[in-house]
Amino acid sequence: MAPAEVLPGTLEMLILRTLQRGPLHGYGIAQYLLQVSGQVLRVGEGSLYPALQRLLVNGWAEAEWGQSETGRRARFYSLTAAGKKRLQEEEKEFDRIVEAIRLVLRTV
């Protein structure tokens, strides 16, 4: 299957979800999303880093410099309490919308 763009508005939710597993750097987040989605969700750097900055601005994530698995200096992002709450809200909202879309598709 060819790679697809992430649905607009869901990238932040996907990043938050990824970070729930533990701190990760930008490259790791992109790789993880690609793998878990069966090579479908390819997140470009042009949207990944602005999204990460938005998470920082809103206080949903924190960033810290640390050492990567290859021994290089990398910036690790981790979830904050506010981020966890936000993730729950976004998941709930997402489910609601998907449910609604399904309903429409089934009815018509």
Partner 1 sequence: MHWTNLWNRLRRRPRHLEEDLNEELAFHLEMKRQALLGEGLPDAEAEQEARRSMGNLTLSREHAREAWSFGWAADLARDLKIGVRSLRGQVGFAVTVTLTLALGIGMNGILFTVYNALAFTPWAVRDAARVVQLTTQDKRQKWRGFSWPEFLYLRAHSQTADGIVALVGQGVRLRNGEQTWNAAATFASDNFFDVMGTGFAAGRGFSPASGDMLHPAAELVLEYGTWQSRFGGSPGIVGQWLEVNGQALQVVGVAAQGFSGPSPTYPQLWIPGALQDKLNPGSYTIRSSGSCCFYVFGHLRPDVGQAQAQSELEILSHQFRQSVKEETGRLQLSYPSLLANPSLDPQARQIFVILAVATVLLLLLSCANAANLQLARAQARRREIAVRLSLGAARGRILRQLLAESLLLASLAGAVTFGIANFLPWMIVHWIAPSEERIAISFQADWRVAGFLVAASFLTGLMFGLAPALAAVRDATASGLREGGRTATGARTRVTFLAVQVALCATVLGAAALLVRAMQEAQEIDAGFAWESLVLVSPQMATSKLNSAQMNAFLQQFRETVERLPGVDSVASSSVIPFGGRYTSTSVASEQRRDGLTAGFATVSANYLRTLRIPVLAGREFTKEDESRQDAVLINETLATLLSPGESLVGKRISAMGQREVIGVVRNTSVNEISAAPGPYFYVPGPGDASLRFLVRYSGPEKPLLSAIPAAARAVDSRQMAAAAPFAENVARARRAAKIAASMAGVVGCLSLSLACVGIYGVAAYQVSQRTREIGVRMALGARSGQIVSLVLRQNLKAVGIGAIVGLAGALGFGRFLRSMLYGLSPADPAALAATVFILAIMATIAAWPNVRRATRIEPASALRHD
Interface pick for partner 1 out of 49, 89, 92, 96 (rule CB under 8 A) = 49
Which residues sit opposite 76 in a β-bridge? Answer: 25, 64
Residue 68 makes contact with partner 1 by CB under 8 A: yes
Q: Which span sits near partner 1 by CB under 8 A: 9-17, 21-29, 90-98, 100-108?
A: 21-29
d(CA 2, CA 85): 33
Give the nearest distance from C-beta 88 to partner 1 in angstroms: 20
d(CA 11, CA 43): 8
Give buried/exposed letters for 28-53 (b at 16+ CB in 10 A, else e).
Answer: bbbebbeeebeeebebeeeebeebbe
Residue 81 makes contact with partner 1 by CB under 8 A: no
Size of the site for partner 1 (CB under 8 A): 23
Give the nearest distance from C-beta 104 to partner 1 in angstroms: 32
d(CA 84, CA 32): 19
Binding site for partner 1 (CB under 8 A): 25-27, 44-47, 49-50, 52-54, 56-59, 63, 68, 70, 72-75
